[in-house]
Every structure is written in structure tokens, then in C-alpha cells.
């Protein structure tokens, strides 16, 4: 690329910061400020995090955004760029493949996340990689990027697999990245946005929910998926209290 390295780092920092801020901030203001009292009973865990929790989550998220940006530099402006399968014109593969490539990115990321997530829960690795994220036992939207720097490197490294394994157009990659942070913030929202009984639906039972991930933060075991529950269900790692917890939240939401 012809962009000076300092300008590229600055641009990637701005992009990562805006993705995080424009997703987490509006939901935080709605659910944790504006409707805090009115919707309190609808919260998955009725108690709210303390100010120090928000500060910790935002602090680590800033470090994560820096690391994500540096990994972005490696992907776009280092010798590693030669391995990227980027193409310039959507017409090269057509709009059908363009849409399919986004789905492939999502499924690849979900597969990657499930296994590295389970690995980071190994007793010999947990405190070095994943403990920082699990300090948010009652997560807020700001927890989406609250990683230890070592975990941030691992989380960011999915981008290498994506750009090296999947032919992609820049717009498809951008949509995936927006989807990634949006679903991540939803997973840590502390409120459920899917409708009543979604966990029992023939499609919904395979989709990860905010309740599902909230249980993982609260109890540290089970529910390792990111976007889907496919591997959790196939491999028996869905928590047994998931259905009852979803139903309990539903009761509060319909009152």
C-alpha cells in the first residue's frame, strides 16, 4: 500500500474505535442510562455493574483496539499481504459469492472462536489469557473488547485465516467486521433482544443468545460458542440451565 505506515495505523485505530463506540455506546445509553429503571426487571442479571467495572472494560478495550489495529497493519501492509485472496471487482465472482463469502467468514470465525475459547478455559491457560475478560461476571456492552493483550492477539488472528482462505472483496470483509462487533456487543448486553421462546425455535435453538453468553460469564463453564450453538449442542457444552434461564427472563419481559 502507498499509505504511510503512521497514517495507516491512525486510520485503522479510528475505524476500530468507531466500530466499538458506535455499537456499544448507543446500547449502553439506552439500556444502562435512559431505560435503566424502567427495564431493570428485564435485565438478565438484575444487578448492574459498578463504575469500576465499566472503567476496566473500557480500559482493556482501548488496548484491544490498538492490538487489532496493529494486526490490521500486518494484514494490509506487510509481506504477509501477498497471501491475501482479495479481489477488486465484485463482478469477478458475482453478488451470489459476495454474499456467500460473508457467511463463510461468519462460520469460520465461529469455528475458530469455539475451539480457542475452550482452549483458553484450560486451567493452565485461563489466568494468562482469559481471566481479564471473565472479570466481567455481569457484563455490559463495554465488555465486548475487554481482553487481556494476549487474548486480543488470539482474537484478532482470525483475520489471517479469513483473508488467506476465503477470496474476499473489501466490502464483504467490512460487513463481516461490522457484524462481528455488533453481535459481540449484543452478547454482552445484559438484556435479551431475541423474542420470547426463541431458544426453543427450530432455528433459534442453534443461535447463540445474550442469555446464553451471560451464563458463561456468570459461571465460567459451558456455552463456548460465538454466533451459533451448533458445536455446543453437538459436543454437549450447552449449560443445562440455559432453557430455564431463558424462560425465566421471558417471564420478566412479558410482565
pLDDT band, very low/low/confident/very high, at 8 (cuts 50, 70, 90): confident
C-alpha of 212 from chain center: 13
pLDDT tens-digit map of 98-107: 999 999 999 9
Please tell me the distance from the alpha carbon of residue 5 to that of residue 73, in angstroms, as a whole number: 8
Mean pLDDT of 52-63: 98
Closest CA to 108 of 179, 195, 59: 179
pLDDT tens-digit map of 224-238: 999 999 999 999 999
C-alpha cell at 86: 482479495
Amino acid at each position: 500500500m502507498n499509505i504511510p505506515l503512521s497514517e495507516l495505523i491512525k486510520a485503522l485505530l479510528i475505524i476500530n474505535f468507531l466500530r466499538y463506540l458506535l455499537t456499544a455506546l448507543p446500547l449502553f445509553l439506552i439500556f444502562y442510562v435512559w431505560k435503566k429503571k424502567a427495564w431493570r426487571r428485564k435485565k438478565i442479571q438484575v444487578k448492574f455493574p459498578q463504575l469500576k467495572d465499566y472503567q476496566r472494560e473500557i480500559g482493556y478495550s482501548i488496548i484491544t483496539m490498538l492490538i487489532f489495529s496493529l494486526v490490521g497493519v500486518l494484514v494490509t501492509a506487510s509481506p504477509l499481504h501477498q497471501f491475501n485472496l482479495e479481489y477488486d471487482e465484485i463482478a469477478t465472482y458475482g453478488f451470489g459469492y459476495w454474499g456467500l463469502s460473508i457467511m463463510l467468514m461468519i462460520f469460520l470465525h465461529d469455528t475458530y472462536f469455539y475451539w480457542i475459547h475452550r482452549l483458553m478455559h484450560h486451567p493452565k491457560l485461563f489466568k494468562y489469557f482469559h481471566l481479564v475478560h471473565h472479570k466481567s461476571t455481569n457484563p455490559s456492552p463495554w465488555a465486548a473488547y475487554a481482553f487481556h493483550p494476549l487474548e486480543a492477539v488470539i482474537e484478532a488472528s482470525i483475520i489471517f485465516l479469513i483473508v488467506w482462505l476465503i477470496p474476499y472483496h473489501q466490502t464483504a470483509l467490512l460487513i463481516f467486521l461490522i457484524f462481528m462487533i455488533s453481535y459481540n456487543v449484543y452478547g454482552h448486553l445484559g438484556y435479551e433482544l431475541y423474542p420470547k421462546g426463541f431458544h426453543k425455535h427450530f432455528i433459534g435453538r442453534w443461535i447463540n443468545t445474550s442469555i446464553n453468553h451471560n451464563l458463561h460469564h456468570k459461571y465460567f463453564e459451558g456455552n463456548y460458542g460465538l454466533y451459533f450453538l451448533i458445536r455446543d449442542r453437538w459436543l454437549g457444552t450447552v449449560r443445562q440451565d440455559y432453557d430455564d434461564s431463558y424462560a425465566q427472563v421471558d417471564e420478566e419481559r412479558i410482565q
